[in-house]
Amino acid sequence: MKRGLVIDLDTCVGCHACAVACKEWNGDSALSGPLADYEPYGAAPSGVWFNRVRHYETGVYPENKTVNVPMSCMHCEEADCVTVCPTGASYKREDGIVLVNQEQCMGCNLCTWACPYGARELDTASGTVKKCTLCADRIDDTLLPPQDRQPACVLACPAHARHFGDFDDPQSQVSQLVAERGGVTMLPELGYQPVNRYLPPRNAPKVSVMTTPDSASLMHKVSGWINKMIER
């Protein structure tokens, strides 16, 4: 079994619902403990987040496109964050999920430096490193209906851009999506073999640029239209 996420970059609208749902669910997680907020009502609020959304602009106007890229732990097959951990706090489960034992972590930050995706954060409130758990406490909960045993980010996504499943099962939804859309890994040249896959955005549609009246002419026409409305 190799559990992970497929994220559709063509569908993601960058609404940050995944990040907020992740923060809410894991705020009281038995696996990671509370996620600290630093000066939430101050001038520079900050805090620990497992999932963040980056925004990039590609192409040239008018054929440009905004690409929203959610980033969290990739649950790499070659997870150096696990290898460098001096206490064994970072470990990889049999299903591929990478976790941190909060009782063993001493906050040395070696794993955060080893992660090229910036997916680990030192929680200064607890003095331990925290990261995405793929909501392991939720997906393993047999008391929940099968359809609810998914990460909070997947369940919250309004655009259905996030998918969770077993990549070792060729018939799973995630495996089929990768096969159909050519799902790719992030920064494969680094050799970490991340499990999570991204579905590439489709090409931006061709847009014909129409000529528009100059601003002075437009304002004159709008002014005339307003005057007619008033006269009525």
Q: pLDDT tens-digit profile of 117-164?
A: 999 999 999 999 999 999 999 999 999 999 999 999 999 999 999 999
Tell me how crowded residue 92 is: count the other CB atoms within 10 A of its CB: 15
Q: pLDDT tens-digit profile of 63-97?
A: 788 899 999 999 999 999 999 999 999 999 999 99
CATH code, domain with 33:
3.30.70.20
Q: Is 69:55 a contact under the CB 8 Å cutoff?
A: yes
Average pLDDT, the chain: 90
Question: Exposed, middle or buried by CB within 10 Å (0-12, 13-18, 19+), for 213?
Answer: exposed
- How many separate domains does the chain show? 1
Banded model confidence at residue 40, pLDDT cuts 50, 70, 90:
confident
Q: How far apart are CA 185 and CA 192, in angstroms?
A: 10
Task: Please determine, for residue 204, whether its predicted confidence score (pLDDT) is greater than 90.
Answer: no
Q: Is 69:5 a contact under the CB 8 Å cutoff?
A: no
- Whole-number pLDDT of residue 62: 78
pTM comes to: 0.84
Residues written for the chain: 232
- Whole-number pLDDT of residue 65: 84
DSSP labels, 150-205? S-HHHHH-TT--EEEEETT-TTSHHHHHHHHHT-B-SSGGGS---S-EEEPPPPPP
Residue 103: name the closest of 120, 121, 115, 91 by CA. Answer: 91
Question: Exposed, middle or buried by CB within 10 Å (0-12, 13-18, 19+), for 232?
Answer: exposed
20: Cβ contacts below 8 Å, ≥ 6 apart: 156
SS3 content of the chain, % helix, strand, coil (to 5): 25, 20, 55
Q: Is 18:70 a contact under the CB 8 Å cutoff?
A: yes
Which residues constitute the domain of residue 86? 3-231
